[in-house]
Structure 1
Amino acid sequence: MNLARWEPRKLSASASAHLDVIRTVAAWAVMWGHLRTLFFVDFQHLLHPGWLLRVIYFLTGFGHQAVTVFFVLSGFLISTTVIKNHFSGTWSWREYAINRSTRLYVVLIPGLLLGSLWDIAGSSLFAPAGVYTHPLSDLGLAIATNSLTIANFLGNLFFLQTILCSPFGSNTPLWSLANEFWYYALFPVALSAGIAFARKEMRVAILLGFVAACLAAFLGLEKLIGFLIWMSGCVLVFAYANFPLRAKGWLSFYIPRWAVTSL
């Protein structure tokens, strides 16, 4: 079996720039979606919305879709790195764990500390408004002050939010970091199990396959559905490797790279 055809193709400068643009737009979409949910009523509660309000609500209504875009991009970029390292023989669990943990904790630790500070201050300053003592639409049925506990803080610190504990305080978007962490863990384990199986290293394949199955059972169905979305980015890695864009005149179309090289 020729595995070389599945080796990820290096991103061009223009492709990287386009991905940066997509991430920027998605980040803005998520931010405006959260702001609208927290400070504005739902659209169906508006009595007589004019065209301007309709436009504003439309443009700020793509938060969930933007998060999905982030997951696909994450799957694309992370799986590219992991697969490339396996192909080059430079794969290191230690280096991968350090890089991924650093990437997440740079965001998570300040988020937890600043979130706790603002929530404690907010629950004191705005107590009469009921913001921290009643459910908010962005928090579902959760009440922010109920999750401001040491146990929740530690659970979120180890990416257990929405699995064994709730997101800390009012910072419900922390659920996405938990998803990312466990997808970062599950993918290389499953991939390594598949590679070991292909190499007839059955003991290693069985061990890693068992670990992957345990991780999947621990995460549950909802997060595994999210993992499928994340894995669609990995599918794009193989598509990008084998179906490079080839221009001919004003037409652009995809031709499998393996088909071209076999001619």
Structure 2
Amino acid sequence: MSQAVSRFIDAVRWIAALIVALHHCNNVFVNQADIMKAEHDAPVYVWWFATSYTFAHGAVVVFFVLSGFLVGGAAVNRARAGKAYLRNYLIDRSARIYIVLVPALALSVFLDLVGQRVFAGLGVYEHPVYQAALKLEYIPATLVSLQAIWFPTFGTNAALWSLGMEFWYYVICGLAVAPLCAAYATSARWTAFAIAVVLFITLSLPGSYFMFGGAIWALGALTRIAPRPL
């Protein structure tokens, strides 16, 4: 990958991250509860438009495509190199996720515990959505990256949903490309591939974003290895 392409990808990721961050705090700086009912000044409507779900969802799609391009494409190339790769690949990818997930979850738990006391009686943590998300059994589910797939994400930090999906895309991709690696026995390669298929089907069963996200993630990986020009 050339330096120009790398810089372009970094810029796109930064812009996408900013769009998602703005969406997550869109109702913090400007109250939009009555945006469709009452008149507001022009800046309010500009903020409402700029931080809309449509742009944020598009930015998430960009993230998934770029993740597939960077991680999935690299996994294919590592498998094609003919050397055993799976152990180091899974360690690298797990570290990439959990170095973010564990501190973020710990901070979320702490802030939610404090928030329930500080904002008690204000209707924030009494909201049925947050009450349902504050079940302790969702903590281990989030730690094994099943949030937003088989279980809700613990607490109010709903933004953690994508980390669970990314983790399993990494795992499934690493296993799925094993047949391309001559360093493993034929039986081991196809066993890894079968496990990848079973994992993908199992994680897609709840009807979450997982299957759609996996499809666009895979498209990103394919663009990395497809013959040029596309």
Shorter chain as normaliser: what TM range?
Answer: 0.7 to 0.9
Q: Give the conservation status (yes or no) of the 8 Å contact 1:189–1:211.
A: yes
Task: Kindly report the root-mean-square deviation, in angstroms, between the aligned alpha carbons of the 2 structures.
Answer: 2.3
Stretches of structure 2 that go unaligned for 5 or more consecutive residues are: none
Supply the AA of the counterpart residue of 2:192.
L
**1:231 corresponding residue in structure 2:** 218
**1:152 corresponding residue in structure 2:** 138
SS of alignment partner, residue 165 of structure 1: coil
Tell me which structure has the larger Cα radius of gyration.
1
**1:94 positional shift:** 1.4
**2:195 corresponding residue in structure 1:** 211
Q: Give the conservation status (yes or no) of the 8 Å contact 1:29–1:66.
A: yes
Greater RCO, CA 8 A, separation 6+: 2
Distance 2:27 2:57 in 1: 12
1:48 paired with 2:32, answer no
Question: 1:101–1:149: structure 2 CA closer, same or farther, 3 Å change rule?
Answer: same
Equivalenced residues, count? 223
**1:217 positional shift:** 2.0
Supply the AA of the counterpart residue of 1:60.
T
**1:87 positional shift:** 2.5
User: Of the candidates 16, 23, 44, which is equivalent to residue 33 of structure 1?
Assistant: 23
Q: Give the conservation status (yes or no) of the 8 Å contact 2:90–2:174.
A: no
Distance 1:37 1:90 in 2: 50
Stretches of structure 1 that go unaligned for 5 or more consecutive residues are: 1-10, 136-141, 244-255, 257-263
**2:66 corresponding residue in structure 1:** 73
User: Of the candidates 168, 182, 207, which is equivalent to residue 154 of structure 2?
Assistant: 168
Matches within 5 A, 1:76-225: 76-135=69-128, 142-143=129-130, 145-193=131-179, 195=180, 203-204=187-188, 206-220=190-204, 221-222=207-208, 223-225=210-212
The 10-residue stretch of structure 1 (84-93 or 170-179) with the greater mean CA deviation from structure 2: 84-93
Q: Give the conservation status (yes or no) of the 8 Å contact 1:72–1:229.
A: yes
Query: % of aligned pairs identical?
Result: 33
SS of alignment partner, residue 137 of structure 2: helix
Distance 1:77 1:91 in 2: 20
Distance 2:33 2:67 in 1: 30
SS of alignment partner, residue 133 of structure 1: coil
Q: Give the conservation status (yes or no) of the 8 Å contact 2:86–2:175.
A: no
Distance 2:6 2:34 in 1: 36
Distance 1:27 1:42 in 2: 25
**1:51 positional shift:** 2.7
SS of alignment partner, residue 106 of structure 2: helix
Q: Give the conservation status (yes or no) of the 8 Å contact 1:72–1:232.
A: yes
User: Of the candidates 8, 21, 32, which is equivalent to residue 18 of structure 1?
Assistant: 8
Name the TM-score, length of structure 1 as normaliser. 0.77
